[in-house]
Structure 1
Amino acid sequence: MAIAIKSIPVLKNKAAANFTTKVTENSARRSTVDFSKQTSIASKILAKAKL
């Protein structure tokens, strides 16, 4: 027995416009995470382990 392939939903009109604006807003906020503290801790651990 084969499983039926479901169709992919398509956004139109207002829904598509809203989706596009939210994507651009979220992609702009996405790069605000700072991992410098975690990177320095990891490098100290590796230096101590002599790796």
Structure 2
Amino acid sequence: MAMEIKAIPTLKGKEAEHFVKAADKAYKNQNKQDFSKHVLEARAVLKKAKML
């Protein structure tokens, strides 16, 4: 059974401008999270399970 190919919606006008502004704001956000502690914990678990 074939699936219908749907068109990809495109933002135009004010909606597109708002999206770009929000994306730029999110990209420039300096409150980035540091996951290095979680990576170390995950590696310790994998090492203990002899999967690493």
Q: TM-score range by the shorter chain?
A: 0.5 to 0.7
RMSD: 3.0
TM-score (norm 2): 0.60
Identity of aligned residues (%): 34
What residue number does 1:27 align with? 27
Letter in 2 for 1:15: E
TM-score (norm 1): 0.61
Q: Which segments of structure 1 move beyond 3 Å, counting only runs of 4 or more?
A: none
Aligned residues: 44
**Which has the greater radius of gyration?**
1
> Secondary structure of 1:23's match?
helix
Consecutive unaligned residues of structure 1, counting only runs of 5 or more, are none
Consecutive unaligned residues of structure 2, counting only runs of 5 or more, are none
Measured against aligned partners, the alpha-carbon deviations of 1:1-51 in whole angstroms (never above 9, x if no partner) come to 311001000000000000000000011126621345x17xx2xx5xxx8xx
